[in-house]
C-alpha cells in the first residue's frame, strides 16, 4: 500500500525539462546587437537631451532647459511647419498616384510590364542620386521641367531657389522616389482580390466606379492604412532630398526637423539640444501615427 502511494505521488510530480542553451545562443545573435545598436543609443540619447554636451568633455546636466529652448526656437517651429507642408503634399500624392498606377498595371494594358518596371525603378535608387537628378531637372535656367513649361507659355519657375517654390521642388522629387513602394503594395493587394467577387458585381450591373468603390476599395483598406502610415513616417523623417537639393534653403523655407537636427549636432556640436529636438520629433511621429491609424481604421 505504501509502495503504491509512493509510486503514484512520484508519477504525479512534474518532469524537469532540460533547457536547450542553443536557443539562447541563436536569439543572442539578434538580441545583443539590437540592444547595443538600437536600444542603448536611444537610452543614451534620452540622457543627453537633458545635458549640455559638445562631444568634448563630460555632459553637463541642465534638466529641461533644452526642451524649453526648443519650444521657443523659431527655427524649430519653422522646420516642423515645413514638415507638415511636406506631409500635405507628399502623402496624398504618393497614395493616390500609387493606387492609380497599380490599377493601370493590374488591368494588363499594353506596355503594363514596362510600366511596372518604370514605376518601381526609382525606389531602388539612393536618395542622393534622386536629389542630384532632380536638381538638374528643376534648374531654373537649364532644367528640363522649365524647358517644357516654356512651350506652354509659362515663365521659368525657380523651383529650388525661391522661398515660395523650394518646398514644392523637394516634394516633387520625394514623390517620384517614394512612389514605387506604394505602387508595389497596392498592386499586390489588387492581385489578391478574388476575381469572382468582381465578376459577380459586374453581373449584378455594377459599373466601373461602383465596382471600385464598393468592391475594390474595401479590400484595399488595410493596405491604404499601411501605405499612409509608412509614407507619413518617411515624410516626417525627410532629410536626404533636402540636404542634397536645397540644404534647407533659401532662408530655411525647405528645412526639415532632421535637417535642423543635423545642423545642431554635426555643424554646431550642440548634441544635447539636438537630442532634445530629436525626441520631440519622435513624440510627434508616434502621436500622429497612432491617431492616423485609428482614423483610417474607422473611416476608410
Task: Identify the pLDDT of residue 175.
Answer: 93
Quote the CA–CA distance of 254 and 225 in Å, as a whole number: 27
Q: Residues 102, 106, 109, 113: is their CA dihedral positive or negative? A: positive
Residue 14 pLDDT > 60: no
Burial class (CB within 10 angstroms; exposed 0-12, middle 13-18, buried 19+) of 180: buried
Burial class (CB within 10 angstroms; exposed 0-12, middle 13-18, buried 19+) of 121: exposed
Task: Identify the pLDDT of residue 85.
Answer: 93
Task: Identify the pLDDT of residue 183.
Answer: 93
Quote the CA–CA distance of 115 and 105 in Å, as a whole number: 7
SS3 15: coil
Identify the band that residue 71 occupies on the pLDDT scale cut at 50, 70 and 90.
Answer: very high
pLDDT digits (tens, 9 = 90+) for 174-204: 999 999 999 999 999 998 888 888 878 788 7
Q: Which residue has the higher pLDDT, 292 or 277?
A: 277
Identify the band that residue 167 occupies on the pLDDT scale cut at 50, 70 and 90.
Answer: very high
Amino acid at each position: 500500500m505504501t509502495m503504491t502511494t509512493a509510486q503514484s505521488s512520484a508519477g504525479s510530480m512534474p518532469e524537469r525539462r532540460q533547457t536547450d542553451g542553443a536557443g539562447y545562443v541563436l536569439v543572442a545573435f539578434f538580441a545583443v546587437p539590437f540592444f547595443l545598436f538600437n536600444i542603448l543609443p536611444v537610452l543614451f540619447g534620452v540622457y543627453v537631451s537633458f545635458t549640455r554636451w559638445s562631444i568634448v568633455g563630460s555632459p553637463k546636466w541642465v534638466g529641461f532647459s533644452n526642451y524649453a529652448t526648443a519650444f521657443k526656437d523659431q527655427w524649430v517651429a519653422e522646420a516642423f511647419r515645413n514638415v507638415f507642408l511636406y506631409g500635405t503634399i507628399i502623402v496624398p500624392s504618393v497614395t493616390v498616384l500609387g493606387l492609380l498606377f497599380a490599377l493601370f498595371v493590374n488591368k494588363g494594358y499594353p506596355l503594363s510590364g514596362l510600366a511596372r518596371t518604370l514605376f518601381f525603378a526609382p525606389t531602388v535608387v539612393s536618395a542622393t542620386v534622386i536629389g542630384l537628378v532632380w536638381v538638374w531637372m528643376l534648374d531654373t535656367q537649364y532644367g528640363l521641367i522649365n524647358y517644357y513649361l516654356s512651350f506652354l507659355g509659362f515663365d521659368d519657375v525657380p523651383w529650388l531657389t525661391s522661398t515660395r517654390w523650394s518646398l514644392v521642388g523637394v516634394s516633387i522629387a520625394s514623390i517620384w522616389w517614394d512612389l514605387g513602394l506604394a505602387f508595389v503594395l497596392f498592386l499586390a493587394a489588387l492581385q489578391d482580390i478574388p476575381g469572382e467577387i468582381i465578376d459577380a458585381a459586374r453581373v449584378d450591373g455594377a459599373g466601373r466606379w461602383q465596382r471600385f468603390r464598393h468592391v475594390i476599395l474595401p479590400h484595399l483598406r488595410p493596405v491604404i492604412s499601411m501605405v499612409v502610415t509608412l509614407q507619413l513616417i518617411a515624410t516626417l523623417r525627410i532629410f536626404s532630398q533636402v540636404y542634397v537639393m536645397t540644404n534647407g534653403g533659401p532662408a530655411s523655407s525647405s528645412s526639415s526637423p532632421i535637417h535642423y537636427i543635423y545642423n545642431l549636432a554635426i555643424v554646431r556640436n550642440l548634441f544635447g539640444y539636438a537630442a532634445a529636438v530629436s525626441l520631440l520629433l519622435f513624440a510627434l511621429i508616434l502621436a500622429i501615427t497612432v491617431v492616423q491609424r485609428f482614423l483610417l481604421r474607422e473611416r476608410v
